[in-house]
Every structure is written in C-alpha cells, then in structure tokens.
Structure 1
Amino acid sequence: MGFKNFKHHLFARIGLLIVTIFIFSALIYSDSGNLSRLLLLGLVILQGYNLYYFLERSESEISIFLKRIQEETLSESEPGKQVSEPIYPEFEEVIENVRELRSDKEAQHQYLKTIVQHVTIGIITFEPSGEVQIFNSAAKSLLGVNQLGNINDLKRVSLPLVKTITELRTGGRDLVRLVRENEETQIAVYAIELSLKGETFKLISLQNIQSELEEKEMDAWQNLIRVLTHEIMNSVTPISSLAKTLEGEIQDWFKKNNVKIKDEELSDFHLALHTIHKRSDNLMAFVNEFRNMTRITLPNLKRVQIKELIERVLILLKYEIASTDIKIKLDVIPDDLRITLDENQIEQVLINLIKNAMQALQAEENEIDNPTIKIK
C-alpha cells in the first residue's frame, strides 16, 4: 500500500542516517584519518538534507492535495500527477471517492431541479434582499414573465401580488386577483420561510384556482336552477290544468244553455284558452329541458304549419302588443307552409325575437312613425 511504502522510505532514511551518525561518532574517537571523518560528515549532512526534503515535499504535496479537495478543483484526467509516488494509490482512492460524491451531488441537484421546473404549481424562492433564486416554468407561465431577477420586478405584473408575497409569513395563505390580457385569474399564494446554512429565504407557491372557483360557481348556479325550476313548475302546472278545464267547461256550458255567440268571437275565445293551455305545456317542457344545463337536449322534430305557429305566438302577446303603437304584419307564403322543426323551442325563439324587436323600437331615442314589425 502507498502509505506503508511511505513509512518504509521514511524509516529507511532515518535508519541509514542513524547508522551513518554512529559510524561518524566512532571515527571521531578512532585513529582514522581526517579524510574519512570529512567524508562521513558530508554523508550525514547529505542524508539529513534528503530526509528533510522528503518530509517537506510530502507535506507540501499533501497540503496542495487537501486544498484542491477543499476547492473542488480535482483534475479528472490526471488525478495524481502532482502527488508523491509513495502515497499516490491512497490519494487516488480519495480522489475517486470525492469525484463520486460530487457526481452524486450534481445528479441529485439536477434531479431536484428538473422536478421543480416540471411541477404544475408555480414556485418562487428569494432572499430577504429580494434576489430570486428559483423561478420555475409554472410560475413563468402563470405570471407571463420569462426572467425574474428580483421579486420587486413583479410590480409591473401586479402590485397586490408583490405586497402579498412579501408580507406573508410561514404557513400564511392568501388569494390574489390577477388580470392578464383582459382575462381574470384567481391565484392562491402560500408562503414558507426557511433557513439553510445560516441563510434565510422564502419559498412562495402559486396556484391557479380559477377553474375550481368556476366549478363551484357552476354548482351554485345548478342548485339555484333546480330550485327555480321546481317553483316555476309548481306555478305553471295549475295554470295549464285550469286552462284546459276551463276550455272544456265553457264549451259544455255553451252547448247546454244553447247560448248563441258569433262564430268569430267564439273562435277567438276558444283559441285564446287553447293558446294559454298550449303555452303552459310548452313552458313546462322548456323548464324541464332547462333543468339540466350540462345536457344538450335533442330536438323533437315534426312537421309544423308555420302560419298557425306564429299566430299562436301573436295571440299570446296580443295584450302586450296592444299596449304599444307597434303593428305586426304577418306574411307567410304559401299559407299552408310546413317546416320540420321543434315546435316548443321555435315557439320560445319567436316569443323572444318579437319581444326584443318591440323593446328595440321602444328604446329608439327618435320616435318612429308607424312602428311596424314584419314577419315573413
């Protein structure tokens, strides 16, 4: 092993130096000539210098090696070229271990960095000075910012957001309204304050909860619709039933009492009751379809005479039209024109169209002479 070789070299030098000193000491008290003593003295000095150089070189190279480890500047191509040969194997092993640790550390760093960049929740970390350390892809997309050097740079996006981010403490949460490109977004902001290696920083997570709010709003609307449709059905059902009953009883009363009435008046009276009954049924059908807003109902198609359908709508709106100066002109060619459609849905459409037209004419600032709605 390298360190054993190092010790062998060291002990050999020390041993040889001791032997030389011992011989030199013996020569001093012997009858040997001065030349022999000078040669041995020179040898002692040379061996002493060699031992000093050996120890100094080893200490220097170990210091350089440790400094390189501390600075993490180990050469990957020449791991031990500047290290003493006797202890090189151990140095090489240490170098390989350090490299492996650095490689594992870098791999873990890249792994965590990739995770942070790909999570769907926006993440921002910054120091007390405001300098941003992490600004992931989700946060960039949510805020519409590609680069962020300081947290205060977000003021150009939203002042309330920056205020919330800087004031929140560990465990705090708040809701911020963000408007981008005329589109409103509700962002949930969460904060955690951390301390790492004596340095403090704040971690902010941002989450777009607009879809969750819209979903809850839709649930609330659906609950309201269910309540309203229930109340409307309870109110409309008796009207339809009474109109149908009244229509039958009046016909029976006319026949029983032999009451004479003009055919035209009887026809209008009968048609009015029939229209009330029919419209009530259609309204109930419309409410039933409206009850479930998430389902698109299939139309109930059948052949319908257009003129009869429009006249029924006009009778329904007769008194509302009479309260205005608006005239209605109906022109259907031919009179018996029939079209395949959903009678209930188209009837509701016609009612809305005629009412909208009447409101538009009444809303005109300049009065129109002989306001007329033409239906062709």
Structure 2
Amino acid sequence: MNFKGFKIKLILRVLLLCITLSTPSIAIVNNGAELLVFILPLLLFQVIELIRFLHQAQDELAQFIEAVQYRDFSRNYNTKNTSTDLQVLRQSFNQINYTFKTISRERETQYQNLQKIMELVNTGILTYNLENGEVVLMNESLKKLLHVPFLKSIHALKKRDEALYAAVQRLLPGHTIIATAQTDYIEKRYSKVLLSATSFQNNDHTYKLVAFQNINEALDETESLAWQKLLNVMTHEIMNSVAPISSLADTLKNRLHQTDYTQITADDIEDLEVGISTIKRRSEGLLRFAETYRNLNKITTLNLEHIAVKELFSNLKGLMQPTLEQRHISLEIIVSDPDISLQADPNLLDQVLINLLVNAIEAVKAKTNPLITLSASLATDGKVVIRVRDNGTGMSKEVQEKIFIPFFSTKKQGSGIGLSLCKQIIMLHRGTIQVQSAEGEGTAFTLRFG
C-alpha cells in the first residue's frame, strides 16, 4: 500500500484547513468581516471533506478486519469504480486476500491428504485435549475397531469400556502397553490391542495422540507357531526316549518267563514282574500321548469345499441324535438364512463341531432340562458365524483363559487336546473361535469365518 501518497494528501488537507481557520482572524483584524460569509462555508466544506477522507479509509479497513476475523477471504475489492484515494488500499486488500486464500488452500490440501492417510491405515488413531478430554480426531479404523460412530470426549469411552479407558488414561507418551478392548458390545467380543501414545502442543493446548493396533490375529498366529515348535520338540524327545524303554521292558518280561526259577526267589520274580509291567504300561501310555500330539501337529493344509451350513447341521444332528436321546438332551438348530454357506474343509469342520457338541453334552449332564443350541447367522460384515451354546455349568474366567492351551483340561481323563485342536483348525480357515461363559449359566463357543 502506498502510505506515502496517503500521508501527503492528509497533510495537504490539514494545511489547507489550518490556513482557512486562520483567515477569519486576519479578516477581522483588517476590518474585513464581510469575508466571513465566504470563509465559513469553505471551512465547513474542508472539515466535511477531511472527515469523509478519513472515514472512507477507516470504513474500508474496518470491513476488511471483520472479513479477516470471520475468515472470509472470498470478497474481491473493486479497484476500478472507486476514488483514487482508495484504489491503492483496495489493491492491498486484494493482495492480502489472495495470500490468505493460497495459505488456506494449502492447509486444506494437507488436511485432506492427512484424512486420506488416516482412512487408509489399519491402525486406529485418537487425538484428544488433555485439559478437557475433547476428542479432536478419530479415524475410521478406530470407529470400526470399537464399533462407535464418534466420541465427543475421551471420558465417554469410560461408559462403553472402562478397562480400555483406564489403559488409555495411564498410558504415558512415548510408551506402549497391551490392553483388552471390547470390540463388539452386543455380543461381548474382546480383542487385544497395542496402545502407543505421544503428546504435542498447539495454540497453548496440550494434546495426546493414541494409536490402537489390533494384535489379536498376530498373537494367535504367534501362539500357534510357538505351540507347533513345542509339540515338535516334545514329540521328538518323548518318542526317542520312550520307544527303547518299552521295547526293553517287553524283552525283559518275555525272558523272565523263560528263566529257571530255581535261580531266584519268588519275591524277586514278583518284584521284577510288577516293576517291568509298570514300566511297560507307562511307556505305552506315553507313546499314545506323543502320537496324539503328533497328529495335532500334522494338520497344516485344508481341502476346501463349498459347504451348505443347513446340510452340515443336519448331518451333525443325525450323528449325535442317539447320544442325545440316551441322555435326554434337547438339541435346537437355528439357521437364520437357509442359503448360508462357507468355504471349509468338511472333515476338519465336522471334527471341530463334534468336539464342541461333546463338550456341551458333558456340561449339561447334571441339568434338569439340558439344552444345546447350534445356530448359524451372517454378521453385519458378511462373515458366517456359527455358535454352539449350552445351559450347562459354565466356566470361571480363569478356566476360559486357559481352555485353548494344549495339555490343559478340566476333566480327570482329558488329554487337553480337543479345544487347542479346534482353535488350530479354525485359524487355518482364517477364522476365529471365542468363548463366553458364566458359572451356573452356560457356555457359548462362537466361530467366525471369512
């Protein structure tokens, strides 16, 4: 803006006004009072012109400041149909508007790029004000993970998932922790999430950015690989150790019957037979144990077929019906859509469902009105969900956390292989298996495919 020209015009007007103001005094001194009739209108005109000159620029500046306050940079100031005094001022306003619009476009472009990146990443992102808890950013991945459309405040998370809220609150910037998030509030599904945080300041406010990474599948895969390695080692070591012992014990027992009994006492013979028989019996038991877990480790590939769930359930009912009738147990089959189907290995899937049904039969045996429900439905994301539910004795939380671990069993004669085998089969199908149970109320196993 040419302020020099504006100042010169202002100085000239002030000088002319001073000259005009001094003229009445000179006229009175020189007995020219009649000149006042001509001087007063001129003086009034100069005052009005000075006020108009200053007000015009001030009014333009006030309008521009108001536009800046409301971030309205779309206005264009006309530089042609205006006085020469305001042309330079309006040109400057247009230049400032153009600069602000350029900066605004660049920021908008950066914001849109950031939004696209936030939508593409699978990690949930949450940013909130540490002072009042107001959420300023929540990407789509986090909305899908937590099944919430939005969060106005971080404190609203406490009502939905108190444990996750507590984990977020105690997480320090620069640190990471593993927490449990309730990812489905209707069906009470939980997932393990890795939380990491950082903090930053902006406009005298401190913000905390928290990243939520679902590590459920990664943990499941890691756990499965770890157990496979363990089973390989166990199988190798047990087989190498027990096979020679069993063979030697059998040989000693046969030779004992062919030995001249006059050379040893009856007590010696009895002790030898008992000891050798015990060794042989225990060795054979260990061999069967090792063979069972070796079979578990062999399941690595699938023979996928298109399976109609309704037909699958019908075959299972026909297979389990004699056992159910013998124990007076009711089996209820629910298929929300008769056309539900999935890609799976029919033999392995049968093995999983039979195992779950056998467990359910064992769980309801002490109930007055035992009931097992076998159901299938489609989730909102299109995945096939199969559920085996019973009204049996249920399980404690401690038991629920261990039931999928190999070797763990609550049954006296159980091997602890059934549910760990089920989990491995479902994981091979790229699915998940989860358990919900309450002591005295029953248990539900949920299988998700897709």
Using the size of structure 2 for normalisation, the TM-score is: 0.48
> Within 1, Cα distance between the matches of 2:49 and 2:188?
83
Does structure 1 residue 146 correspond to structure 2 residue 112?
no
Deviation at 1:238, TM superposition (A): 5.3
Contact preservation (8 Å) 1:121, 1:207: yes
Q: Secondary structure at the match of 2:132?
A: coil
> What is the aligned partner in structure 1 of residue 58 from structure 2?
59
Q: Could you say which residue in structure 1 is the equivalent of 2:191? A: 185
Report the alpha carbon displacement of residue 227 of structure 1 after superposing the two structures with TM: 0.9
Aligned residues: 268
- Secondary structure of 1:103's match? helix
CA contact (8 A) 1:175 1:187 kept: yes
Aligned partners of 2:124, 2:140: CA distance in 1, in Å?
7
> Relative to 1, partners in 2 of residues 1:68 and 1:25: Cα closer, same or farther, differing over 3 Å?
same
Once the two structures are TM-superposed, the CA of residue 16 in structure 1 deviates from its matched residue by: 4.3
Q: Could you say if the C-alpha distance between residues 166 and 295 of structure 1 is closer, same or farther in structure 2, counting changes exceeding 3 Å? A: closer
Q: Deviations over 1:281-311 (max 9, x none)?
A: xx9xx8998597475499xxxxxxxxxxxxx
Q: How does 1:1-376 map to 2 (within 5 A)?
A: 3=3, 5-7=5-7, 9-14=9-14, 16-17=16-17, 20=20, 34-74=33-73, 76-79=74-77, 84-85=86-87, 87-127=89-129, 128-179=131-182, 180=184, 181=187, 183-235=189-241, 293=298, 295-296=300-301
Secondary structure of the corresponding residue to residue 171 of structure 1: coil
1:55 to partner: Cα distance: 1.6
8 Å Cα contact 1:191-1:202 kept in structure 2: yes
Change in 2 beyond 3 A, CA 1:229/1:40: same
Deviation by residue 1:234-253 (Cα, 9 ceiling, x = unmatched) = 257759999xx9xxxxxxxx
State the secondary structure of the residue aligned to 2:193.
Answer: strand
Query: Is the radius of gyration larger for structure 1 or structure 2?
Result: 1
Question: Does structure 2 conserve the Cα–Cα contact (< 8 Å) formed by 1:79 and 1:95?
Answer: no
For structure 2, the residue ranges without an aligned partner over 5 or more in a row are: 252-287, 304-360, 367-450
Q: Secondary structure at the match of 1:149?
A: coil
Q: Aligned Cα RMSD in Å?
A: 4.5
Check whether the contact 2:232–2:294 (CA below 8 A) recurs between aligned residues: no
**C-alpha deviation, 1:121, in angstroms:** 0.9
Separation in 1 of the partners of 2:71 and 2:2?
Answer: 23
Q: Match of 1:48, as an amino acid?
A: V
- Aligned residue type for 2:10: L
Report the more deviating stretch, 170-179 or 89-98: 170-179
Answer with 217-226 or 19-28: which moved more.
19-28
Which residue in the other structure is 1:258 paired with? none
- Code of the residue aligned with 1:104 in structure 2: it is E
The C-alpha deviation readout for 1:87-120, integer Å capped at 9, x for no partner, is: 2211221222222222322332333233333321
SS of equivalent residue, structure 2 residue 66: helix
Q: CA deviation at 1:205?
A: 1.4
CA displacement at 1:80 relative to structure 2: 5.3
What is the CA–CA distance in structure 2 between the aligned matches of 1:11 and 1:170, rounded to whole Å?
Answer: 61
Mapped partners of 1:296, 1:64: distance in 2: 75
Deviation at 1:138, TM superposition (A): 0.9
Q: Equivalent residue of 2:196, what SS?
A: strand
Q: Which amino acid aligns with 1:65?
A: F
SS of 1:195's equivalent in the other structure is strand
Sequence identity percentage? 30
Task: Specify whether residues 47 and 57 from structure 1 end up closer, same or farther in structure 2 by C-alpha distance, changes over 3 A only.
Answer: same
Deviation string 1:58-113 (CA, Å, 9 cap, x unpaired) is 22432332233233234x24445999445221122122222222232233233323
* Residues 54 and 288 of structure 1: CA distance in aligned 2, closer, same or farther (over 3 Å): closer
In structure 1, the partner of 2:334 is none
